[in-house]
Every structure is written in C-alpha cells, then in structure tokens.
Amino acid sequence: MRNSGLLWLAAALAGCALAAPPLTTIQDVLYKADGTPFNGTLTIGWSSFQASDNSAIVTQSTTVKVVAGNLHVQLVPTTSGTPAVYYTVTYNSDGRVQFQETWSVPSSAQPVRLRDVRVAAAGADTGGNGSGTGGTGGGVAADTTVLESDVVGLIADLAARPQMGPGYAAGRVAVVNALGALESAVGNATDCVHVDGSSGPCGDVQPAYVDGDLPAGIVDGANTTFTLTDTPDPAASLALYRNGLLQKAEQDYTLTGAAVQFVAADAPQPGDTLLASYRFDGGSGSLARPDYRPRAAHAGTPEVLCSGTGAATASGMASLGTCTIPAGKVTPGDRVEARFDFEHEGHGAGWSVEVHWGGSTVLRRQAAASEGLLTGRIEAAITVSGAQVSGQSWGSATSLAATASETSDGYDGGLKMDFQGGPAAPGDRVTLRGFTVVRWP
C-alpha cells in the first residue's frame, strides 16, 4: 500500500509538470481600409514571464499567417502573468512592415477579438483614468520604429550601393575608384575630368584670339618688315588689313613666324594704318593683354546665320533684307562675315546702298545712274565692347572702295544687320539679289 501511494504521488507530480500553460484564443477577421481582406503575417514577440499556473514562459517570438483576413492564434494570458508583460505584434504585408501594436491578453475560455487585446502601448494603463483602451483618452502612442531588418531586401540593397571612399568630399565631381567606392575628382576648378577619373586642362591646346594687333615697324614707305606681337597659329588665321583693306598672303606679303614681309611695291606709306587679327597657341604669348580671348580647342565650325534673297524698292531708301543674330550667338574673338549683291534697273538717276550693324551704318555706297550692279562684303571682329567692322564694295563700273570703323553696339541680347538700298529717281528699281551672313568661331 505504501509503494502504491508513492507511485500515485509521482504520477500526479509528473502530470502537473507535463501540463501545458493555459491559452486564450484570439480570433478575428482583418480588413484593409479599402475593404479588401488583409493578407500577410503577424510576428508576435514577448519577454519572459510566469503564467498563472506558474509555467515559465521564456523570451521568444512566433509568426502567424493571415490569409483572406482570417486571424487565429492562441497565446498565454499576460494579464495574470508575473510580471505583467505585453506582446509586441508587427504586421507584415507586401514584403514590408506595415505597422506595430501592443497586445495584453486576458484569461478567457471563449475566443476573444482583436479589439479585446489591443492596447495603446506596453506599459500603458489598460483601465482607469481614461488613459488606456477602456478610457476616453489617447494613452501612449505605439512604437512605430521600423528596423532595417524588417524590410525585405533592404540590407542587401544597402550593401550593394557604392560606398564613400577616403577621398570623398562634398561639392566636387564624383569618380569611382579602383575598389568601386566614390571619391572626388582632384584638380583645379577649371580642369576637365577624363573618363578614367583623372583631370587636367580642357582640350588638347588652348588657342587664343587677338584682334586689332598693331604690327611693329616703321611706316615710312621704305620699310617692308613688320613684327606681330605673337606668332599666328595656324598661319592662315592671319587677317592683315592696310587702311581697312584686306591684304592677300603670298601676293601682298609673306609670313614667317611673327614677321610680316611686304613686297617692295606694296611697302606701307606714311600715314597708312596696319591692323592684324589672328589665332595663336594659348600656351604661349601675351595672355595678359585684354584683346586675347582664350577658347577651347576645336570650339566649332563656321555657321551660316542667314542666307537668302531680298526685297525690291522703287521709292527711295528702304530695308530690303535683315539678319538677326540671336542672343549669345557671338562672343569676343568671333568674326561675322556678310556678303551681299544689289541690282539697279533704270537710268533716271543714281542709287545708294547701306549696311547697318545694329544702330551703326558700317557701309554706305552711291553709284551712278548707269551702274547696274553693286556687290560687297563686310567683316565684323567681335570685341568685348562691340565690334571692329571693315567693308569693301564695288560694281561693274564702280571702283573698289574700302571702309573700317568701330562700333559699340551691344550683342549680348541679340543684334540685327540691315541691308538697305534705294533709287534716287522715281521709276528706277533697286533689288537685293542675295545676302549671306556667316559666323566664324
């Protein structure tokens, strides 16, 4: 009898030890705000506590699937546990954390709904004073912190992005070093960055432009040798003017380096004015002079700004064709060349043509009544303050005439060239047969 009593006591103790802790069923149907069922998972976590039956509940978490909005999970009650703890519930859907909330689970033999377990936050008053779920106040807001590990794929994506290298600095061009990290380009503010991440001066060569250079030499009718300030490069870029008339290389002069040698028959006479415009290697020369305009190598090719035929008039001077140079189209060092052709019909009296550069008349020519054709060209060297303009005109019976002038007409906001002509006698007719305006960079 004594042994049987001991066996009964041992069996009873074993039964207690193997009995599961009490559970409360939480069952509900979850919806989104748009009325569709919630689909996803709930990750439920808790800290260690002791259940009402003295079962030891250790810190852990579990994941519950919610399909078509149906939530069903059984948890150990926490309202009767020691110490009082809360469940932290994270809602996951569409591959990311949606939100978090806190549950306090009561003891119940019947299933409870979500509203019966949801509280404002862990540690919030669940009852009196209107601060918990049973009162009218708001309580403490739930913790909505989202961990990087809670977002699917975020850690891998962050690891795949380029990292800042040791040479990274704000406000500079970013380059990728040999390890794939981002660093900043090293060099001067005016340098260009190459595709390999290195930097250096922009372009192969930095040519410069000079306008209105005065060749050095005595103008006495005997001296034929004059020296430019710098060596034209290329030599063909030299435009040499004598009294506004363009001189022709190898016919009127030869160029050797910076030396201009006139042929003896064309030696400049006292009172003559020589002016030269040209390009040269920007790596040398007197770049401090204000008339030098550095440009990037291979800055561009000639561009036709305007070209076409013009109108006709039989009633005095009138505008027969115009060309508007857009704002920002020309800069110091550019050249603008215009060519034009006029025709006169009738023999009542003489006739005239004019070319206007902005508000300045840069060419004016009168022809006899018997003259049927006038043609000409002007060339404007763009300067910082305006332009230096030279021109030539001639006809079938009208001799060649040249002119040169300076204008201060601004071009930053655009500039209009106006080709005008007209007869002096009624019944005669003047027509602008054609004109072309070209920009040379």
H-helix or E-strand containing 404?
A: strand 401-407
Q: Is the preceding omega at residue 326 within 30 degrees of 0, hence cis?
A: no
The pLDDT of residue 340: 96
The pLDDT of residue 140: 40
Q: Where exactly does CATH 2.60.40 map onto the chain?
A: 15-149, 208-280
CATH of domain 15-149: 2.60.40
The pLDDT of residue 132: 37
Which region holds residue 40: left if phi is over 0, alpha if psi is between -120 and 50, else beta?
left
Rounded distance, CA 166 to CA 387, Å? 51
The pLDDT of residue 13: 54
Distances (CA, A) of 77 to 41, 57, 84, 108, 140: 21, 11, 10, 8, 22
Q: Where exactly does CATH 2.60.120 map onto the chain?
A: 303-440
SS3 119: strand
Rounded distance, CA 389 to CA 385, Å? 13
Q: Where does residue 71 rank: exposed (0-12), middle (13-18), buried (19+ CB within 10 A)?
A: middle
- pLDDT per residue rounded down to tens, the chain (441 residues): 555 555 555 555 555 455 689 999 999 999 999 999 999 999 999 999 999 898 999 999 999 999 999 999 999 999 888 888 899 999 999 888 888 999 999 999 999 999 999 987 544 443 333 333 333 333 444 455 677 777 888 888 887 888 888 888 887 888 888 788 888 888 777 788 888 778 777 765 556 778 888 899 998 899 999 999 888 988 889 999 998 889 999 999 999 999 999 999 889 998 888 999 998 865 544 444 444 444 433 345 678 889 999 999 998 899 999 999 998 888 888 899 999 999 999 888 899 999 999 999 999 999 999 999 999 999 999 998 999 999 999 999 999 999 999 999 999 889 999 999 999 988 899 999 999 999 987
Rounded distance, CA 126 to CA 120, Å? 8
CATH of domain 303-440: 2.60.120
H-helix or E-strand containing 14?
A: helix 2-18
Would you say the pTM of this structure is higher than 0.75? no
The pLDDT of residue 134: 37
Give the architecture-level CATH label for domain 208-280.
Sandwich (2.60)
Sign of CA dihedral 246, 249, 254, 256: positive
Contacts of 424 (CB under 8 A, 6+ apart): 316, 348, 349, 350, 351, 352
The pLDDT of residue 124: 41
